[in-house]
Structure 1
Amino acid sequence: MNRIVSSLSLLAVLAFTPSGMAHPLPDVAVRSHFEQGGEYLLQIEIDPRSFEPDPNVAPYLTNADLGVTPAEQQEKLKTKAQEYVQKVVEVVLDPVAEVKPELSWEFTAAENVPLKQPEDPVMLTGTWRTKLPAGSTGYSIKALPAGTLSVLYHNTALGKKVERFQILFPGETSYVLDLKTFTPRSKAPPPITEESAAGTADATLDAPDAMCALCGTGSQGGGTTATLVSVAGIVALVAWLRKKKAA
């Protein structure tokens, strides 16, 4: 078992750091702010690395780089950001209503903080202020299947952050935020504990033909890198939880 754990952990690391100099994968942050009377502020943050064929190894656009980037190229980046958002994120109102955000794009640091240092990584932050249609009762977003990166779902209501946030993968839909109570309509899944993570990892590794599935040669022929990484992630989480408990 220990040998399997070590192998999976190593393969997971290699899968995400092919050059040994990879940066963390970027994600798309969707932050929404709600006020009484239907006032609504949407902000979407995109790392320009998201436009590259392999964002994992693409270098950051830094504040120093931005300073020598022609204005025409900067405008092209903003256009790319708008086109990219339309492909990867959809805003959903309940009752169902079509929402087409008219985002105004600016170059910022992460979390909409002003750029200061030359080495600061540059983000593209799109902002849209509007008023929700009368009768809107629920709000959610979809991470569209065409996307390849995770989407972060953050909400703030009446100046206070909604405690629950989500990480969505392509094809997933967020929980619905009730626009009257500003609380999620559905309960959050139970937290991952050492026992539940260990049980999932052991069940996966002990399943018939498990290792063949991981290497892609199982009886179903459906093993994928995603399966390997999922198991490796669970194993790594279990190891971390056990280490933390022993500390």
Structure 2
Amino acid sequence: MNRLNFKKSAIVLGMCSLAVLGGCSDNDSLPPVETTPTPPAVVTQDYTVTVTNLTPSQPLSPIAVVAHNADNPIFSAGTEASVALENLAEAGDNSDLESEDGVSQLVSGAGILAAGSSESLTVTFNQDEIENLSILTMLVNTNDAFTGVSNFDPSSLEVGDKMTFRANVYDSGTEANSEAKGTIPGPADSGEGFNPSREGDVNKVHIHPGVITQDDGLADSVLKASDRFDNPAMKVVIERTK
């Protein structure tokens, strides 16, 4: 074999060797790379609840904005008050509402809301989990009066839309309206708050008849004419902000 043919043969053999080596590459045996899809962003809706105390001088307990399913209203006229509602209506304590059946959120106000004052609270829902809202608070210079809006469905509101309510005063029906010294938790008396006994009233939520103060001739009352109230006692504005 002459030198030229030898070189050609060597080149061919080298190319074949490279081809064989190329066929044995580890890359062909690697599993395909699996990619985790990015989950869709969670879409939320925000609602701002603005409450204004419309009474002449009754302080309101910390506002409770409660998100819950429609089948479990927080209060309803003609029905028996839950213990959580009783605690709010007699002591101004809204903390037990968070444990009520069907409740998903409780947003509480910063503190006492004085007459003529306003406060805004925000509640946030996932787009597919919009629930109903109830807003309520105690008139603290009473035995068991509260005011509020029950079981409102905000899902029809578009961004920027508002709904305005003027809330009446309810009696929880859990304590007699004696107005006697030691029975009212507000600054007019600084007396007892929650009392589990339900003697002396109808044990059903109903529109409050109003107070009869010492200025009206009820000698045992610790309340004065300035503690009177009328309906509505509270304005509630619910706005979808996102």
Structure number with the bigger relative contact order (C-alpha 8 A, sep ≥ 6) is 2
Q: TM-score, normalised by structure 2?
A: 0.24
Q: TM-score, normalised by structure 1?
A: 0.24
User: Which structure dedicates a bigger proportion of its chain to helix?
Assistant: 1
Q: Which has the larger radius of gyration?
A: 2
